[in-house]
Amino acid sequence: MNRAWLGWIVLAVGMTGACSRRATGPAEAQPKAFGAALVLVSGDKQAAGVGSLLDQPVVVQANDEKGTAVAGALVKFAGAGGVTFDPDHGLTGSDGQFSTNVSLGGVHGRYQIVATTRDSAGRKAEIRVDEIALGYQETLGKQVSDIHCVRCHDSESTPERVSNHDNLSAQAHAFTDGATPNAMSDADLAAIISHGGAALGKSAEMPPYGNTLTKPEIDALIGLLRALADPPYRPQGIFYAGK
């Protein structure tokens, strides 16, 4: 009788073991060193289409209390809204840096990703990095901007596209500079794009594009400006009389 029970128990345990699917993910790396703070090296405020991979990796660096880079510290990345990381955790390299490729979620707008590390006492140090996912409208705006706007509004030159920014007497605002456009309404922005700078008492060096661009294209440009703005643009929304 006892032996029979033992047999059943062995069988049950064996079945459970065989049927349960163990998570066979890579074992989490053990930190070899500990950092007290994380700093961003590069890769913040990138803009890419919804759901897609950012052009540049996000690179963070782990530092100790004195601010020197720590190699072998464990860094973990996390983000809400469907952000994925490749890889999402790992040890910092000999330069104290850890780099990950980030794909954004399927909804357009801003994404905040968080990189964390723990010091030897287990205290958490983290850094937050903003990235921007462009929806259809903003993507269209980016295409329009690449043709008509960036040569003056972006002061960076590339071999393929030399910037005209410094040749102007008025300094064209970078599209990432939110301070000025955030204070302007959509209607004002549409007016300055359509009728040129002179129409709003600004420099005539900004030409009117009202006969060149269609209304959806102008709306798309405004959408792009709103998406890229830093500090972020907060729409005023609709106000109704309260009860």
Partner 1 sequence: MSLPQRVRSAWRYLFGDAASAFGTLSAVLLIVLAIVPAKDYFREWLGYQKQYLRLIRGRGDATSLSRRFQGGLQQIWMPDLGVVDRCTTCHTALKEASLVDIKTEPFRPHPAIPHRLTEFGCVICHRGQGAATTVEEAHSSTKSWEEPILPARYLEASCGQCHLDRPMGTPRLNQGRDALAQYGCVRCHTIKSPDGVIMTGSDAPPPLLHIAEKTTREWIAAWLKNPQSYAGSATMPNFQLADDETRDISAFLIAQSTSYPSHQGPEPAPAASQDAAALQAGTSLYGESFCSSCHAMQNAAGMLVGGNLGPELTRAGSKVKTGWLAEWLRDPKTYDPDTRMPRYRLDARQVGLLIGFLSSKSDSDFLGTTQLAAATAAQIEHGKTLVIERGCANCHAINGVKKPENFAPELTLVGSRPLEKILFAPGVPHTLADYIGAKIRQPRSFGNALKMPQYTLAPQQIGALETALLAQTQLAQTLPVSLRIPGRASSNYRPAGKAGQLIDDMRCFSCHKINGYGGGMAPELTWEGSSVQRAWLVSFLKNPNTLRPALIRRMPKFDVTDAEANILTDYIMTVYQTPAFDQETTDASRFTAADAEHGKELFYGKYACQSCHIIDPKKDRGYIGPTLTQVGARLTASWISHWLKNAQSLRPGTSEPVWNMSDEDARAVTAFLVAQKNAPRKEVAQR
Give the footprint of partner 1 on this chain (CB under 8 A). Answer: 49-53, 55, 81, 101, 103, 105-109, 135-137, 139-140, 142-144, 147-148, 151-152, 159-160, 162, 164, 167-168, 198, 203-205, 207-209, 211-212, 216-217, 219-220, 223, 235, 237-240, 242
Of the pair 33, 174, the CB lying nearest partner 1 is at 174
Q: Pick from 93, 91, 95: which is nearest to 69 by CA? A: 95
Of the pair 87, 109, the CB lying nearest partner 1 is at 109
Instruction: Report the sign of the C-alpha dihedral through residues 124, 105, 235, 182, in that order.
Output: positive
Q: What is the biggest distance separating any 2 CA atoms in the chain, rounded to whole angstroms?
A: 100
Cβ at position 52, least distance to partner 1 in Å: 5
Give kind and range of the element (H or E) at residue 19: helix 2-19
Contact 92, 73 (CB under 8 A): yes
Cβ at position 234, least distance to partner 1 in Å: 9
Cβ at position 164, least distance to partner 1 in Å: 5
Query: How long a stretch of residues is the chain?
Result: 243
Cβ at position 148, least distance to partner 1 in Å: 7
Of the pair 167, 180, the CB lying nearest partner 1 is at 167
Of the pair 42, 214, the CB lying nearest partner 1 is at 214
d(CA 93, CA 90): 9
Cβ at position 186, least distance to partner 1 in Å: 12
Q: Per the structure block, which two tokens stand in for 237?
A: 């929304």
Of the pair 14, 106, the CB lying nearest partner 1 is at 106
Of the pair 92, 137, the CB lying nearest partner 1 is at 137
Q: Per the structure block, which two tokens stand in for 11?
A: 């069988």
* Angle CA 115–121–123, to nearest 5: 35
Cβ at position 129, least distance to partner 1 in Å: 19
161 vs 142, 147, 154, 168, CA distance in Å? 15, 11, 10, 16
